[in-house]
Structure 1
Amino acid sequence: MKIAVIAANGKEGKLVVEEALRRGHDVCAVVRGQNKTAAKKALVKDLFDLTPEDLAGFDVVVDAFGAWTPDALPQHSTSLKHLCDILSGTSTRLIVVGGAGSLYLNPEHTAQLADSPDFPDAFKPLAAAMGKALGELRQRDDVRWTYISPAADFQAEGERTGKYLLAGEELKPNDRGESIISYADFAIALLDEAERTSDAHIQQRISVVRA
């Protein structure tokens, strides 16, 4: 497959690139500056400057974009809208590296992780911004998107175990009561989803947790 990884220089982006290359895919790193990934192909361009021509011909586009400062948080919405507009009406899959704060805590989907008492206040603005972007993404029926949320404890330096559980809209602990996933295992789950031949998760949010 031909895969473009946007924000490939980020921690998750780099691991997605590595996992895709490990599986023999044709990978292009989309970066704003010097390519710092293992990919031999790179498109040096700001996400907001990307055009339909830039992403034409890719089977999968991975959106690993992240914004953390208060002034940049709205870019979770604007960047995702821009990518959807570019990919509108095409057969290209858009797989989004999402957030955990919007995962539901009950079957009625009335309570989210970000609303729980133990959710850190410092991460609430980020969770709100990512949740808003997901809500807007749900309105796009013209794009073949899949949004993947990590477990509550998303560990940048966590080990690559190669084992994970696939879940849906609700926060799902593993058999040990943990809600943990490493960036490396998340990359494995993402590539497994990219390689999926069925349309089971098109226009859906799914989630992953360490097995």
Structure 2
Amino acid sequence: MKVAVLGATGPSGQCVVKEALKRGHEVTAIVRNPDGITDKHENLKVVKANIFDAETLSEHFEGQDAVLSCLGCGPSWFSLWTITFYTDSAKPIISAMRKQGLRRLIFMASWYTKYDANDPFIINWVLKPMFLGQSLKNMGEMEDYLEIECPDIEFTSVRPPQLVNTETTGNPVLFHEGQSIPREAGRKIVCSRQDVARFMLDAAESGDYKRKCIAIGSG
């Protein structure tokens, strides 16, 4: 496969690039600063582009089979600042994909992007109001945008919990269509970035989970 990776210089994006190369795919890493990637590989192409500019993105999407995005921004402390990063970046990405007739998009979001009164107290009354509320809200708005306004895009929202840099155990990645992994499934509240990469590449290769929001966790 030929895959374009957005957010390739971030810790999760680096894992996606390495996993894709390990599987023999051709990777175009689309980054703001090409100096952020020092690895060399015959199947790796590093290009510079503005993620908010559909025209510059479009040329790098030509001939790709899928776009894998690990784009993200930091939390909004105490929800003082409205975050629009996810919707602001999704719209030019979709525009650029449409220019190239590219339909498959797999992107990283998070557990608990939508409000549910049954979610844990610490999520609804501590983490969201004080730290993650605006980020999660805008991720949810991005998912809604794709669901409602992009019927032509075969998206998969990959929702991990807290990300850690530990090695993968190699066990199957837990997954569940919904806000989180159910407790009875033996969920953990952290997920290895390598497992996120494994699941995103599995989804790209299999074509599964199209137009789905899938919570994942390390097995």
Report the TM range for the smaller structure's normalisation: 0.7 to 0.9
Q: Give yes or no for contact 1:94–1:145 (8 Å, CA) kept in 2.
A: yes
Q: Tell me if 1:43 matches 2:42.
A: no
1:160 aligns with 2:164: no
User: What is the TM-score with the length of structure 1 in the denominator?
Assistant: 0.84
Is 2:19 the counterpart of 1:8?
Answer: no
| Paired position in structure 1 for 2:104 | 93
Q: Does 1:191 align with 2:204?
A: no
Give the residue type in structure 2 aligned to 1:96.
F
Say whether 1:146 aligns with 2:150. no
Change (3 A) 1:95 1:177: closer
Q: What does residue 59 of structure 1 align with?
A: 65
User: Please, which moves more after superposition, 59-68 or 86-95?
Assistant: 86-95
Point out where structure 1 has 5 or more consecutive residues left out of the alignment.
Answer: none
SS at match of 2:125: coil
- The answer as to 2:136 corresponding to 1:130 is no
Matching residue's letter, 1:196? S
Cα contact 1:7–1:30 (8 A) shared by 2: yes
**Cα distance in 2, alignment partners of residues 170 and 100 from structure 1:** 5
SS in structure 2 at match of 1:142:
coil
Q: Provide structure 2 residue ranges, at least 5 long, that are not aligned to the other structure.
A: none
Q: Could you tell me which amino acid in structure 1 is paired with residue 188 of structure 2?
A: E
* C-alpha contact 1:174 1:209 (8 A) present in aligned 2: no
Match of 2:189 in 1: 179
SS in 1 for 2:206: coil
Counting aligned pairs with the same residue, the percent is: 25
CA distance in 2, matches of 1:74, 1:207: 22
Question: Relative to 1, partners in 2 of residues 1:92 and 1:35: Cα closer, same or farther, differing over 3 Å?
Answer: farther
Higher helix content, 1 or 2: 2
Contact kept in structure 2, 1:174 and 1:210, CA below 8 Å? no
Cα deviation for residue 91 of structure 1 reads 4.0
Question: Once superposed, what is the RMSD of the aligned Cα atoms?
Answer: 2.5
